[in-house]
Amino acid sequence: MSVTDELLANAERYAASFDKGELPLPPAKGVAVVACMDARLNVYGVLGLSEGDAHVIRNAGGVVTADERRSLVISQRLLGTSEIILIHHTDCGMLTFTDDGFKESIHDELGIKPDWSAEAFADLEEDVLQSIARIKADPFIPRKDSIRGFVYEVETGRLREVKA
Amino acid sequence: MSVTDELLANAERYAASFDKGELPLPPAKGVAVVACMDARLNVYGVLGLSEGDAHVIRNAGGVVTADERRSLVISQRLLGTSEIILIHHTDCGMLTFTDDGFKESIHDELGIKPDWSAEAFADLEEDVLQSIARIKADPFIPRKDSIRGFVYEVETGRLREVKA
């Protein structure tokens, strides 16, 4: 049995006790979260979210690239969110390599070099601020009054705010 | 008090009972999930995931764009995942507009037209298959033996597999 099959058995159990079929499309709390994909960062658990509460956008690093800005534009313009929470975390994989080294290793193996940035970073706090700056610079995201960035500590379970 | 402040109070409660500080960086189950950011789709809940189990990548629609491929390359090459689960869902916001109409409305309001695709789609199952096809076509994602796509039913809590 693959891991996917094992998780599908969990999904059947979830459906069997499901009682949230009437929730509306727009997030009840008007918040969009942009977080790292890291397995140890349980966004619902940490922020105490329930089904229907918030948009959750995640990728490698929790960095803001064009696709996160696309998601935020849709979240705010079509579904009414107005606050943004960014979450990076300690012991992040993005701190363990450089773009140049990663692309060179792929080039060595495949003979093709990625024509994109892997978005590696050397400083967590600095990258949180960089992600906030990218949102602020986007002309299509309308609501920028509440954009706050955090580092989640995988060792302690704590969320620490990053201020410029 | 902003909603963000309310969620930060939840985060303090999470940290107070936290006991998972020793988990390793690579996901225990070797799985990466690509899902829509929709507030009603609780990926941890549906799949029965715990902290440390799986990478979770999310955006508007759960579509596969360049940034999801970047995240999957990092997930597989640096952190050892080998199975991919894609989740779209019923009543998705992406079904409610067209790229052309969305960009035209922004153009009308701001005088600038987005130079990117909003990735709207008209057919859920077709877009799940499109997302799988984009992963299969990527030269930098090494493991493609287990890529399975699903539609989550927000009305019933059920996960329905999409097959070509």
Across the interface, which of A8, A21, A31 has its CB nearest the CB of B7?
A31
Q: What tokens does A162 get?
A: 């990053």
B55/A46 CB distance under 8 A: no
| Chain B nearest CA to A128, separation (Å) | 16
* C-alpha to C-alpha distance for B77 and B140, rounded to whole angstroms: 9
B37-54 in b/e form (b: 16+ CB < 10 A) is bbbbbbbbbbbbbebbbb
Across the interface, which of A2, A32, A93 has its CB nearest the CB of B78?
A93
Interval B92-111: pLDDT, tens: 999 999 999 999 999 999 99
Across the A:B interface, residue pairs with CB atoms under 8 Å apart total 243
Q: Exposed, middle or buried by CB within 10 Å (0-12, 13-18, 19+), for B69? A: buried
DSSP B4: H
| Chain A nearest CA to B62, separation (Å) | 10
Residue A158 clears pLDDT 90, i.e. is over it: yes
B85/A60 CB distance under 8 A: no
Average pLDDT along chain A: 98
Interval B103-161: pLDDT, tens: 999 999 999 999 999 999 999 999 999 999 999 999 999 999 999 999 999 999 999 99
Chain A hits for B156, CB-CB cut-off 8 Å, are 15, 18, 21
At residue B1 the predicted structure's pLDDT band, cuts being 50, 70 and 90, is confident
Q: What tokens does B84 get?
A: 């991919």
Chain A hits for B42, CB-CB cut-off 8 Å, are 44, 50-51
pLDDT score for A1 = 82
Across the interface, which of B27, B45, B155 has its CB nearest the CB of A39?
B27
Chain B hits for A143, CB-CB cut-off 8 Å, are none
Q: What tokens does B157 get?
A: 């809590």
* C-alpha to C-alpha distance for A34 and A55, rounded to whole angstroms: 9
ipTM surpassing 0.95: yes
* C-alpha to C-alpha distance for B119 and B122, rounded to whole angstroms: 10
pLDDT score for B118 = 98
| Chain A nearest CA to B89, separation (Å) | 11
A83/B114 CB distance under 8 A: no
| Chain B nearest CA to A45, separation (Å) | 7
Chain B hits for A85, CB-CB cut-off 8 Å, are 4, 7
Nearest CA in chain B to A83: B4
Q: Which of B45, B23, B27, B20 is nearest to B35 (CA)?
A: B45
Q: Which of B73, B84, B79 is nearest to B131 (CA)?
A: B84
User: How far, in Å, are A86, A92, B5, B100 from residue A63 at the CA level?
Assistant: 9, 12, 22, 27
Q: Are A37 and B55 in contact, with CB atoms under 8 Å apart? A: yes
pLDDT score for A77 = 98
pLDDT score for A139 = 98
For CA atoms B44, B47, B50, B55, the dihedral sign is negative
Chain B hits for A106, CB-CB cut-off 8 Å, are 73, 77, 140
Rounded percentage of chain B residues whose pLDDT exceeds 90: 99
* C-alpha to C-alpha distance for B123 and B38, rounded to whole angstroms: 17
Average pLDDT along chain B: 98
B157/A21 CB distance under 8 A: yes
Whether the full predicted model's pTM is greater than 0.90, yes or no, is: yes
Enumerate residues 6+ apart whose C-beta is below 8 A from B40: A20, A23, A25, A51, A52, B89, B154
B4/A119 CB distance under 8 A: no
